[in-house]
Structure 1
Amino acid sequence: MGEGNEGAARLLDRGKQAPGLSDQQVEAARKLIGVWLRRDVHLPAIYEPISLHDIRRWAQYSVGDDNPLFSTTDYGKGSVWGTNIAPPTFLYTIDSGIVAPGLPGVQWIFAGGTFEHSKPVRVGDTISAKARLIDVVEKSGRSVERFISQVGEVIYSNQAGEQVSRYVGEIFRIPRARSGAGFRFEKEPRNNGEPYRYTDDELEEIAAAYRNEMRRGAEARYYEDVAIGEELPVLFKGPLTLVDIVGFYAGRRTVYNVLKLAFQERDRHPHNVYYSPSTHVPCHPAAGHFDVEIAREIGMPGAYDQGWQRINWAGHLMTNWAGDMGFVRRVGGRVTKPNLVGDLTKLTGKVTGKQIVDGEALVDVEWWGTNQRGEKNCSGTAQVRLPSRDISVKL
């Protein structure tokens, strides 16, 4: 029969899987502020040398970016970096940035996050991460009466012990619908809650935007040529499909466990499970990203994106605009409205500032995304280091 574990606990009773928020739970979570946590959000944490394959998969599948700087060996060797480097949000695949300890059975929802990069991630680097909770705040909103914001910090370091990046992310902890205290989204009044139907002309506009996507590439964008108020070219993402969401997962080094490994994870974390009302089959609550039944239990109107995807897209917007010689020092933002299957997001931005700091030519950018109904669904800021015609300025 092989090895077994007959003493393992039974799966959690489905009646206990959707608790509300209690003051005791919140206080217990607050006690974890400042504690460096084990990183088993997605098992196992993988701290191995990064291959071009890892970078290519993230860029192409998780971001939808075909920049050869992230995928082609000879192109990387001919770049200013001398090798292939990773897109600005690649570190999500080393550590997800989810720092949400405690509150068992209370759903986590990505709210936003910001990377502050010190160095590029290169092929051959080995990146490790450590994380801690830095704040817990009780909040309320239009769509949910009471929820908790957990803010976490992740430090990423390379094989030389150098800090590569610092990430600060916010996770909302919101009771599931079955608790009676979860999300309550109103139906979209313009179409009575029905999915948006695209016209042939709209689809042709989207196809043309993809065909003509503007990428600066090897042509330098010099600091001196950038003007405050300058607008960034629009980057289209969508309409979002289930294939796009599965592709996002496929591009990651770590993802949710399956089959035997999934049942073993539920033995370790019995509250982190959703039981289908129709089949009683247990699965990970994150399946709501591509399963409507689970999405509605979580409180979403339908299957929806991983919120990180929109931060990914902001990074893509920045690298397209800055060109291969640019380096994204900071990129981050917030998701402000669900991005459901079928939604289109158009990202753009504008230059808000310029300065030379410690010998670096830095440009500040404000960015945002708008869906097919003209509603803003994400926004944030970035800072990009650009090459300068002044040879005293760092590249």
Structure 2
Amino acid sequence: MTETTPRKAADITDEMLDHARSLIGVWLRRDVHWPSYAEDIAPIDIRRWALYSTGDDNPLWSDEEYARRTRWGGVIAPPTFLYTIDSTIVAPGLRGVQWIYGGTRWENHVPVRPGDRITAKARLLKVEEKSGARARRLVVQTGEILYHNQREELVARAEADVMRVPRRTSGKGMVGFEKREREGRQVWTPDQIEEIRKTYLGEERRGSQPRYWEDVQVGDELPAVVKGPLTLVDIMAFYVGRRNTYPPLKLAFQERERHPANVYVSPSTGIPVHPAAGHFDDEIAHEVGMPGAYDQGWMRANWIGHLLTNWCGDDGWVRRLNVRLHQPNLVGDATWCRGTVTGRSVENGRHVVEIECWGETQRGERNVTGSATVELPSRAL
């Protein structure tokens, strides 16, 4: 069978699961040839991630003169920047079975700054078989990723969930999105677009004005942050903001030689592509099991981070962030990110608040939920 011959997608077998489970606890090789490992972080890396991958124009991420006047004394990276060092995808084995980002639990210890060189190591923690309304059989692989800087400080720890679901041509792919597939992309009226425009222009950012722990109460609502309507340009910009991405052209063919089972061959064009092309191409999205072209799930994790940093201000610190995805976010969808304060406490001398956060689409569906622990300045210190 040649590379350009459409093939039946792989199903999940017991042998594949046994192989995947044999890798639990093994520290896995992360590609040391990517610039994210070989080069120090430049200001443009942080600026691109904040602006293009997140849509966050906070000058703390990009303006050195502004940032020098903050508690940090210089530019730092947004709380989800480490996705661009290592994707948090720890899903060895199960070749030819589609992976779908499920969510990440972040613990942030020290900020990332220009000039840092971050390395990551990862291992698989568990492999769980599940079934549900969307798939008769799926697997969730949970991995641990440790990020260290050049001073050997632990910058952050992440636990990430990756769902492995057979593709549609296996005969056992995801189901339940047929109605959305028939409906096609969301159509917006000029009045609706105008309302979103006003929301963007009126976005609240605390910035240099401290939000003190003593002034926060349980039940306080975070000002909403809108994202969308999602376009292919937004998804492309997300890729532009990353320090590494999927290989193109000759490099793509070399990658397919190493991992032929992951190749998707378009039946309409005969062109072999990486299945991540489903983020741009409806045909490939349908093979993955999605109703249409969809975002990369990390985008919504970034958006929740944006919601939090807008609220807490430049003196705040997102210490923990737990994000879980629920519904596909399709081209044409808009998401309103919201949050509520659920608790206040002092942890080891740190004044922190607990926040429940979520994203809700124009259809009234929550496509992402999360929780966060945010450290705030205290008037007592």
TM-score, length basis structure 1 = 0.94
Aligned to 2:136: 145
Q: Which SS does the other structure have where 1:368 is aligned?
A: strand
Aligned to 2:275: 285
Q: How does 1:245-284 map to 2 (within 5 A)?
A: 245-284=235-274
Aligned to 1:38: 29
Measure how far apart 1:186 and its partner are.
Answer: 3.4
Q: How does 1:1-395 map to 2 (within 5 A)?
A: 11=3, 14-15=6-7, 18-40=9-31, 43=34, 45-188=36-179, 193-391=183-381
Q: Aligned in 2, Cα 1:74/1:109: closer, same or farther, shift over 3 Å?
A: same
Q: Aligned in 2, Cα 1:279/1:187: closer, same or farther, shift over 3 Å?
A: closer
Distance 1:386 1:119 in 2: 15
Distance 1:349 1:187 in 2: 31
Aligned to 1:6: none
Alpha carbons 1:348, 1:367 under 8 Å: kept: yes
Alpha carbons 1:139, 1:149 under 8 Å: kept: yes
Alpha carbons 1:104, 1:272 under 8 Å: kept: yes
Q: Which SS does the other structure have where 2:246 is aligned?
A: coil
Distance 2:209 2:183 in 1: 45
Distance 1:50 1:364 in 2: 31
Number of residue pairs the alignment of both structures matches = 381
Q: Which SS does the other structure have where 1:382 is aligned?
A: strand
Distance 2:318 2:363 in 1: 30
Measure how far apart 1:46 and its partner are.
Answer: 2.5
Distance 1:12 1:43 in 2: 28
Deviates more, 1:39-48 or 1:356-365: 39-48
Which one-letter code corresponds to 2:175 in the other structure? R
Alpha carbons 2:35, 2:243 under 8 Å: kept: no
Distance 1:45 1:125 in 2: 11
Which one-letter code corresponds to 1:186 in the other structure? F
TM-score, length basis structure 2 = 0.97
Distance 1:112 1:12 in 2: 33
Distance 1:10 1:99 in 2: 29
Which one-letter code corresponds to 2:315 in the other structure? M
Measure how far apart 1:41 and its partner are.
Answer: 10
Measure how far apart 1:257 and its partner are.
Answer: 0.3
Q: Gapped runs of 5+ residues in structure 1?
A: 1-8
Measure how far apart 1:43 and its partner are.
Answer: 4.7
Q: Aligned in 2, Cα 1:353/1:316: closer, same or farther, shift over 3 Å?
A: same
Instruction: List per-residue Cα deviations over 1:197-223 (Å, max 9, x = no partner).
Output: 212221111000000000000000000
Alpha carbons 1:345, 1:370 under 8 Å: kept: yes
Measure how far apart 1:284 and its partner are.
Answer: 0.6
Alpha carbons 1:370, 1:376 under 8 Å: kept: yes
Instruction: Note the aligned Cα RMSD (angstroms).
Output: 1.7
Measure how far apart 1:179 and its partner are.
Answer: 0.3
Q: Aligned in 2, Cα 1:148/1:215: closer, same or farther, shift over 3 Å?
A: same
Alpha carbons 2:6, 2:267 under 8 Å: kept: no
Distance 2:298 2:256 in 1: 24
Q: Aligned in 2, Cα 1:130/1:12: closer, same or farther, shift over 3 Å?
A: farther
Distance 2:312 2:280 in 1: 33
Alpha carbons 1:240, 1:344 under 8 Å: kept: yes
Distance 1:343 1:78 in 2: 38
Measure how far apart 1:185 and its partner are.
Answer: 2.5
Q: Which SS does the other structure have where 1:262 is aligned?
A: helix
Measure how far apart 1:51 and its partner are.
Answer: 1.1
Alpha carbons 2:4, 2:265 under 8 Å: kept: no
Aligned to 1:4: none
Distance 1:113 1:188 in 2: 29
Aligned to 1:3: none
Measure how far apart 1:65 and its partner are.
Answer: 0.3
Measure how far apart 1:13 and its partner are.
Answer: 5.5
Measure how far apart 1:124 and its partner are.
Answer: 1.3
Alpha carbons 1:185, 1:300 under 8 Å: kept: no
Distance 2:276 2:84 in 1: 16
Give the ranges of 4+ consecutive aligned residues of structure 1 lying more than 6 Å apart after TM superposition. Answer: none
| Percent of matched pairs sharing the same residue | 56
Which one-letter code corresponds to 2:272 in the other structure? P
Distance 1:45 1:322 in 2: 29
Instruction: List per-residue Cα deviations over 1:203-249 (Å, max 9, x = no partner).
Output: 11100000000000000000000001111001100000000000000
Q: Which SS does the other structure have where 1:205 is aligned?
A: helix
Which one-letter code corresponds to 1:215 in the other structure? R
